[in-house]
Amino acid sequence: MPRQPRVFVEGGLYHVYNRASHGDDVFAEPTAGLKLAVLLEREIRADGHLVYAWCVMSNHYHVVLRSSPVPLSRTFGQVQSAFGRWRNWSLQARGPTWQSRYQAKLVEDEAYLRQLIAYVHLNPVEAGVVADPADYELSGHREVLGRATKTLIGRDLVLALYGSTERDAIRAYLGSLSALKAGGERWLGQRPGLLPWWGRQVDRPVEPPPLVAWVDGAGRPNRPARPRLTAEEYVAAACASLGVEVAEVTRRSRRSDVTNQRFLVVGLGIERWAQRAGDLAGVFNRRADFVSWWARRARERRLGDAVWAARYEALDESLRRRYEDPGG
């Protein structure tokens, strides 16, 4: 039987995780662990999710995030398939890499969110890999402390859960780790003022990023789920929002304006509206690999061209309003 589609809450807080097939220590090899971390950073940043915590262990990974409009299935599907291909090619591995598709648990309580962040960053300690989570590089703990030059988490996004200034927030964050780990070691219970690196820091207000349009003042998603549309319905709606005829966009033309419209419609459909390249290929009367290339090109332009990204977001918002308020 086909797998049931998962319910995706746009702007929701999620604990995403997965395990290597048979619990094998796939990521214990340093190159493999680093490769997975790089893929997580690349795909999560590209898709605009906001990260609170992450960790790559020897046979599994965790990510705690607030989702963007891009479905988690697309982001983590890309991560897992790309890692599997890399492993088979670079390490000459055979057989499935992953135990299953990614797992995702919706987080609906802020107190649980704080506990979850501590749990994820304590994974290396609980596994006996290190005594201090700051000694483990493939996690977000050092990023929270401000001791990492390259970060995946939104640091002030996390600190704002614990305090209004950097020092108070880090003190409370370390306290949450200490509370979670029974019989915590000295680094867990120690006041931040006693840490050797602390005196070199200047305290500052925590400034979390503004909440996105699809999240309310309490941090909860406030928009209904996107409707499930057929490829024909989606293309018709997207073309109507662009003010062009379906026949104009789907005809075989190399005019730049038509090509741009085609990239917009296909890229947005695949990335955010649960469209499949094969289904859109039927509407455009093209091969599925052509349509997949259009989607990749649209994504590249969204990431590298601010004007294009604005058009992309405008089309998405127009479609959202169309279905949230059909009579408006």
User: How confident is the prediction for the chain on average, in pLDDT?
Assistant: 84
Q: Are the C-beta atoms of 295 and 277 separated by less than 8 Å?
A: yes
- Reply yes or no on whether the pLDDT at 197 is more than 50: no
* pLDDT, greater one: 135 or 198: 135
Which residues does residue 218 pair with via DSSP β-bridges, in sequence order? none
Amino acid at residue number 154: G
What's the token pair of residue 295? 């989607």
- List all residues 6 or more positions away from 10 whose beta carbon is below 8 Å from its beta carbon: 67, 68, 69, 214, 221, 223, 225, 226
| Dihedral (CA of 62, 7, 154, 184) sign | negative
pLDDT band at residue 222, thresholds of 50, 70 and 90? low
**18 has a pLDDT exceeding 50:** yes
* Res. 324 pLDDT band, cuts 50 70 90: confident
**pLDDT tens by residue, 237-275:** 999 999 999 999 998 888 888 999 999 999 999 999 989
Separation of alpha carbons 21 and 96, rounded Å: 6
Band the pLDDT of 11: cuts 50, 70, 90.
Answer: confident
Please give the pLDDT value at position 108. Answer: 81
Between 197 and 132, whose confidence is greater? 132
- Whether the predicted pLDDT of 217 surpasses 60: no
- Half-sphere CA count of 257, side-chain side, radius 13 A: 4
Percent of the chain predicted with pLDDT > 90: 54
Task: Calculate the alpha carbon distances from 105 to 7, 63, 78, 113, 241 in Å.
Answer: 11, 11, 19, 11, 34
Domain architecture of the chain: domains with CATH: 13-200 (3.30.70.1290), 231-324 (1.10.1750.10)
Q: Which stretches of 230-305 are DSSP H helices?
A: 231-242, 246-250, 256-272, 277-284, 288-304
Write the pLDDT tens digit of every residue in 63-76. Answer: 999 998 899 999 99
Q: What type of residue is 166?
A: E
Cα radius of gyration (the chain)? 22
Give dist(CA 100, CA 76) in Å, integer.
12
Integer Cα distance of 227 and 222 in angstroms: 15
Query: By C-alpha distance, which of 257, 271, 125, 145 is closest to 200?
Result: 145
Query: In this predicted structure, which of 8-17, 54-63, 164-173, 284-293 has the lowest mean pLDDT?
Result: 8-17
95-121: per-residue pLDDT in tens?
A: 788 988 899 988 888 888 998 999 999
Helix or strand (DSSP H, E) at 313 = helix 306-324
Residue 3 has pLDDT above 60, yes or no: no
- Structure tokens given for 304: 């590298």
Q: What whole-number distance in Å separates Cα of residue 80 and Cα of residue 82?
A: 5
pLDDT the model gives residue 58:
94
- Mean pLDDT of all residues in 30-48: 94
pLDDT, tens digit, 9 for 90 and up, residues 118-159: 999 999 998 999 989 999 999 999 999 998 888 899 999 999
Q: How confident is the model at residue 196 (pLDDT cuts 50, 70, 90)?
A: very low
Task: Give the pLDDT score at 256.
Answer: 87
Q: Is 296 left (phi over 0), alpha (psi -120 to 50) or beta?
A: alpha
- Which of the four pLDDT bands, split at 50, 70 and 90, describes residue 187? very low
Q: Which residues pair with 51 in a beta bridge?
A: 65
Higher pLDDT: 212 or 147? It is 147
Element (H, E) at 315: helix 306-324
Query: What per-residue confidence (pLDDT) applies to 194?
Result: 40
C-alpha to C-alpha distance for 262 and 248, rounded to whole angstroms: 10
Cα 117 vs. chain centroid, distance in angstroms? 16
Helix ranges (H only) for the chain are 30-47, 72-90, 110-126, 141-145, 155-159, 166-180, 186-189, 231-242, 246-250, 256-272, 277-284, 288-304, 306-324
Reference 248, options 258, 240, 238; nearest CA is 258
Longest dimension (CA), the chain: 69
* Mean pLDDT, range 304-315, rounded to an integer: 91
Q: pLDDT band at residue 199, thresholds of 50, 70 and 90? A: very low
